[in-house]
Amino acid sequence: MQESPFNLFPNEYEAWFRENENTFQSELLALKQAVPVGKKGIEIGIGSGIFAGQLGIQYGIDPSDNMLEYARKRNLKVEKGFAEDLPYPDNSFDFAVFITSLCFITNPAKAIREVHRILRPNGEIIIAFIDKESTLGQILEKGKDESKFYRDANFYSVPEMIEMIENNDFKVSDIFQTLTELNNEEIESPIEGFGKGGFVVIKGRKTVFKDL
């Protein structure tokens, strides 16, 4: 099995965010519209913890040892593992976040079901991703073969993501977007909805079936 590029090139991953600070800050602003404050949350596919550290998310899981080294240096409580088989009890967290990680997960629907399991009643799922139908998404899709990190990514459109979320017992409540202009040299304020921005954040609330 080919080793993950995230495990092979963690330094380059970190460097990208330093070199693209305005993009990073724009994405953070969009995420802050959806990520709860003062609640117990976990990032699925936490990587180096660069987002979690800025969003007040203390817990995370990732399959990459080298990425997790960075996350631990950020004093985050992380474990090695996979999104489809989370090592946490039922009803453990108030919210869970995927930040450009779902496109790398082998079985994303199963990962979302696992999140449903570990969330408390009325818990929230937040998925941030590159919209396949955006200009940015189309550029990344066309350049996948030459990309060190996106070679194995499966990009999704917003309707596809909404369907996946709601088919696995969540109800979408909010959508935000940013990166409406490529190569923007300024930090961009997020706007509601989708269709203009390359980076989209969808928030959903856990639904629970009642016995008949």
211 lies in some domain: no
* Count of domains forming the chain: 1
pTM of the model: 0.93
- Domain membership of residue 10 (yes or no) is yes
For residue 150, pLDDT over 50 is answered with: yes
Q: What is the pLDDT of residues 105-140, one digit of tens each?
A: 999 999 999 999 999 999 999 999 999 999 999 999
DSSP the chain: -PPPHHHH-HHHHHHHHHHTHHHHHHHHHHHHTTS-SSS-EEEET-TTSTTHHHHT--EEEES-HHHHHHHHHTT-EEEE--TTS--S-TT-EEEEEEES-GGG-S-HHHHHHHHHHHEEEEEEEEEEEEBTTSHHHHHHHHTGGG-TTTTT---B-HHHHHHHHHTTTEEEEEEEEE--STT-SSPPPPEESSSS-SEEEEEEEE--PPP-
More confident residue, 12 or 174: 174
Between 153 and 125, where is the model more confident? 125
Residue 65 forms part of a structural domain: yes
Least confident of 12-16, 29-33, 65-69, 134-138: 12-16
Domain that holds residue 90: 5-206
- Residue 16 is assigned to a structural domain of this protein: yes
Q: What is the model's pLDDT at position 9?
A: 67
CATH number assigned to the domain comprising residue 90: 3.40.50.150
